Amino acid sequence: MTVLAGMFALAVSIAVGSVTIPIKEQVLILGHKLFGAAKPESVEASLISIMWSIRMPRAFLAFLAGGALSASGAVIQSVLQNPLASSYTLGVSSGASLGAAIVTVTELSIPFLGVFLLPVFGFAGGLLTVLFVIAFSARIDGNVKNHTIVLFGMVMSLFVNAVLTMLSVLASEHEHQLLAWQMGTFAGKRWYHVGILAAACLMGLVLLLRDHRELDILSFGDEQALAIGVDAPRVKKRLIVIAAFLTGVSVCFTGTIGFIDLIAPHMVRRIFGSVHRLVLPMSFLAGGICMCLADLLARTILAPQDLPVGAVTALFGAPFFMWLYFGKKGN
């Protein structure tokens, strides 16, 4: 069901735009591109190239980024037993965009890394921030209580964002690009972006699913996890690193996009329960669907203006989240 909904969201998101590409024609074009079927007569060549090189990479990237963010959001919420935590609150997102921004501003290039330069730096930035958050929390609080991590993560996140803003003012020639980053965008993405992110998502999801039972146990708190037989400090760090990896790679292509990683896991938990064997893949799909639709709105509401997708997710996400989270307590 959810998979079908995901495909539908992708199809709609590919269909709508300055030119509409009906789903029937999408299928024809796909058949032509993927399976070497005869070039459909009824479809204009320009439509094919719009779909194949603009709409499709964009839709797929949005889907994957939303999925990656949501899956890592679900993990961080469980590991910290805080339904309000996410990669964003831990500073992973801002760390990753800072890493990516440094590459852009310094016009850095490292041989061999090639197209992997940005994801590598994004991942490193996100990971360094979260490791710093954990290490610092451990220094001031020996038991590394979860709320210490969340509080310090939020402080770090704001701090890193400030550095990012300074950077964008100083490097004024990149200002526009960096600003877009801070609000997130899927414009101008190519297939290789999709490829890298898809590989990262697959790897991350498999690694997370390996620990699905540990995630269930960790959501009851570290002491109970230890008592049941999960080496909580070690498994927790491992899971946070994988979550940082997923977030880092997606952020460095798209910029920071909030709320999806809070909303999607929440919806999933309410519909499918809390067992991570389901929560992880479903959060991925739900996050992908939400992000596809958010991007669709971002490029159509004020067309031909392209809104930053982060603004759209926050605009719709904030009230939706309020309803989801506080509405539950009402009944």
Partner 1 sequence: MGIQLKQVFAGYGSPRNENQTDVLKNLTFGIQEGQTVCILGENGSGKSTLLRVLAGTLHYRGSIRLEDTELARMNRRNLSSQIAFMTQFSNVYFSYSVWETVMLGRYLKLNRFLGRPTETDRRRVAECLEMTGLSGLKEATLGELSGGQLQRVFLARTFAQDTPYILLDEPTNHLDLKYQSQLAQYLKDWAGRERQYPDGTFHCNTLIGVFHDINLALQIADELIVMKEGEILACGNKSQILQADILQQAYGMDVSTYMKKQLEIWNG
Binding site for partner 1 (CB under 8 A): 78, 81-83, 138-139, 141-143, 210, 213, 216-217, 219-221, 223-224, 226-231, 269, 273-275
Query: What is the token pair recorded at 91?
Result: 């500073």
Closest approach of partner 1 to the CB of residue 84, in Å: 10
Closest approach of partner 1 to the CB of residue 331, in Å: 12
* Residue with Cβ nearer partner 1 (61 or 242): 242
How would DSSP label each residue in 162-204? Answer: HHHHHHHHHSGGGHHHHHHHHH---TT--HHHHHHHHHHHHHH
**What is the C-alpha to C-alpha distance for residues 87 and 252, in angstroms, rounded to an integer?**
14
What is the 8-class DSSP label of residue 39? P
Find out whether 13 and 62 touch, Cβ atoms under 8 Å: yes
* Residue with Cβ nearer partner 1 (145 or 190): 145
Closest approach of partner 1 to the CB of residue 280, in Å: 13
Closest approach of partner 1 to the CB of residue 285, in Å: 19
* Residue with Cβ nearer partner 1 (316 or 325): 325
Amino acid occupying residue 152: F
* Residue with Cβ nearer partner 1 (52 or 325): 325
* Residue with Cβ nearer partner 1 (229 or 330): 229
DSSP E strands, the chain: none
Residues 6+ apart with CB under 8 A from 251: 92, 93, 96, 97, 100, 122, 126, 257
**What is the C-alpha to C-alpha distance for residues 79 and 146, in angstroms, rounded to an integer?**
9
Q: What is the CA radius of gyration of the chain?
A: 20
Closest approach of partner 1 to the CB of residue 153, in Å: 17
Closest approach of partner 1 to the CB of residue 244, in Å: 22
* Residue with Cβ nearer partner 1 (82 or 300): 82
